Amino acid sequence: MDTTTEALRRRYARRHVAARAGVYAAAIIAALVCALPFLWSVISAFKQNQDLYNPESNPFFFNKPATPDHVTFLFTDTPFLTFVVNTLIVGAAVVAITLALALPAAYSLARLDRPWGTPMGIAIFMVYLVPPSLLFLSLTRVVVALHLEDTLWSMIVVYPTITVPVSVWLLIGFLKAVPKDVEEQAMVDGHSRLGAFLRTVLPLVFPGIVAVVVFSFTLTSSEFVYALAFVSASPEMVVSTGVPTQLVRGDVFFWQSLQASTVITAVPIAFLFNLFLDRFVAGFTMGAVKT
């Protein structure tokens, strides 16, 4: 009997090792498939022209010594830094507007128990699904009528239409996770309903608010259609439109610089997003849970 349990144990151990190896193999393949174009961008960004523009040279290695010239060129001879600054300005302004609109709305829908709370929440979320491609033509006319064309303001005014609905949805989830006793205690202690929200609930959902900030910023920085339709003057462009339209002169692509700009933009955003991934996952589920 001892031998059979021993054999069984060994079989399970073997199976366990095989399963672990499978998990690692799958994880490595997934990471490679997702990151390959970026990995390869990093290599190309530092290549010399003679190395890059030679169909016979191995595209995965440096066949000539690496050079930082094209990355320097990106910062000194192209408006890339202007695009980055513009993206940060638009992102910060949009995040501020989004929080100012979405926080009270989410509290109203999550906590104040109106009969229209749930349908209204769903209706606001559905607005997220209305795509820029349906609205950009008429919004361009609106932007022109407001004399905002070719300014950062055009994007600051319009982008919250994308970020507010998602943020309301996420914040409803985070607010529902705060126990109701917290506010009731605060109100017993003499705060008004509004005071209880501002002084006790807001600090508790702070982690959720940070997640919403990151999420809104990501959405803002990747938006393309509105930015392309509203702004055609280079100094007012953001990264997502400036790089593909301005770093290309006619048919001449500054390939190394383009690759560098992609990596420089991609890495910090993905890094930030990864920090908060668990919170997004939690937020999306909680938003759908009834209390």
Q: Which long-range contacts (CB under 8 A, 24 or more apart) does 45-52 make?
A: 45/70, 45/71, 45/256, 45/257, 45/259, 45/260, 45/263, 46/70, 46/71, 46/256, 47/256, 52/255, 52/256
Q: For 113, left (φ over 0), alpha (ψ -120 to 50), or beta?
A: left
Q: How far is the CB of 115 from another protein (least distance, A)?
A: 10
Nearest CB to another protein, comparing residues 14 and 193 = 193
Cα–chain-centroid distance for residue 38? 17
Single residue of 10, 16, 64, 114 touching another protein by CB under 8 A = 114
The residues in 198-237 that bind another protein, with binding defined as CB under 8 A, are 218, 221-222, 224-225, 228-229
Nearest CB to another protein, comparing residues 7 and 18 = 18
Q: Is position 243 an interface residue for another protein (rule: CB under 8 A)?
A: yes
Q: Is position 257 an interface residue for another protein (rule: CB under 8 A)?
A: no
Euclidean distance between the first and final Cα of the chain, in Å?
A: 53
Nearest CB to another protein, comparing residues 72 and 222 = 222
2-10, 72-80, 163-171, 200-208 -> range binding another protein (CB under 8 A): 163-171
On whether the CB atoms of residues 237 and 86 are closer than 8 A, the answer is yes
The binding track of 55-94 with respect to another protein, each residue x by CB under 8 A or -, is x--xxx----------------------------------
The residues in 5-64 that bind another protein, with binding defined as CB under 8 A, are 19-20, 23-24, 26-28, 30-31, 33-35, 37-38, 40-41, 44, 52-53, 55, 58-60
- Give the 3-state secondary structure percentages of the chain, helix then strand then coil, rounded to 5: 75, 0, 20
On whether the CB atoms of residues 48 and 65 are closer than 8 A, the answer is yes
Single residue of 120, 178, 202, 204 touching another protein by CB under 8 A = 120
Residue 77, SS3? Answer: coil
Q: How far is the CB of 79 from another protein (least distance, A)?
A: 15
